Amino acid sequence: MLARFVDLLEEHDRARSALGAFTCYDLEEARGVLAAAAARDVGVVLLISRDAFAAGGGDVMLAAIRAAAERSPARACVQLDHVSDLELIGSALELGAGAVMADGSRLSFDENVELVAAARKLADAAGAGVEAELGHVAGGEDVAVATEAEGLTDVEEAKRFVEATGADLLAVSIGNVHGKYASEPRLDWELLTQLEAAVSTPLSLHGASGLADADLSRAVDTGVRKVNANTELREAYLQATSDGLADALDGLALMKLHHAQSSAVRAVVEEKLDALKGSE
């Protein structure tokens, strides 16, 4: 069933846990994520990347994934991820996205504020949520390459940024990256502690693929309330495709292959959701 972005965040904030957000490129991935959420009885966010939405048929994909969420027993919100184009943000909101990430992390501070504030107005009209990013989380969302961290979030800037934009959630850069980590991940725990204390808005951590469960649990305990994962889901999906293709070709059993893809994604998501409970 569809759930409001801010309601899911508030629920996890009360529980001192983190909301899992998982990028979906088709219905098989979405089915796997929703099945995992239903099994763990938690809400989730179904992310749609900027490039996937901007590509031909992206509008149909968003509508289809939203329909899957609406019919699932799991509580779910569909979010357009990492977009700096207000036209794309507006289109996603018109199609029923429950949240958008207005990503101005490559812009100047003032330009980032302007982008998020404008997205906030569009989202308010649609009853949707807004996530922003300050400091830049390096790497690509759709293609995994070895990446080094860069552009850590400044504490004082974060405080001013949240006050100026009215964002519901702030993605921070503390040594995390999108895609694959070029070296052993080294998260700046002191910086995360300072950000959590200084900023009234909940924090999110992108680049969960490649982080140890212990690091995810520690991040949750330190105040992170949403965690994004993508690369590990794609790895599982494509490995299941490779492993099952020969068998599926015998009889052209497409549904069998789809089931394997969804099941592989579900297993990864369930493991992530368990880590996002924090240390309890």
Which residues does the annotation mark as catalytic? 81
Phi/psi zone of residue 43: left (φ > 0), alpha (ψ -120 to 50 degrees), beta? beta
21 SS3 class: strand
Q: How far apart are CA 30 and CA 20, in angstroms?
A: 13
Q: What's the full length of the chain, in residues?
A: 280
- Neighbouring CB atoms inside 10 A of 30's CB total 27
Q: Tell me which residue of 245, 226, 248, 240 sits closest to 268, measured CA to CA.
A: 240
Geometric angle at alpha carbon 48, from 171 and 11, rounded to 5°: 55
Q: Tell me which residue of 1, 49, 2 sits closest to 26, measured CA to CA.
A: 49
135 SS3 class: coil
Q: How far apart are CA 227 and CA 209, in angstroms?
A: 10
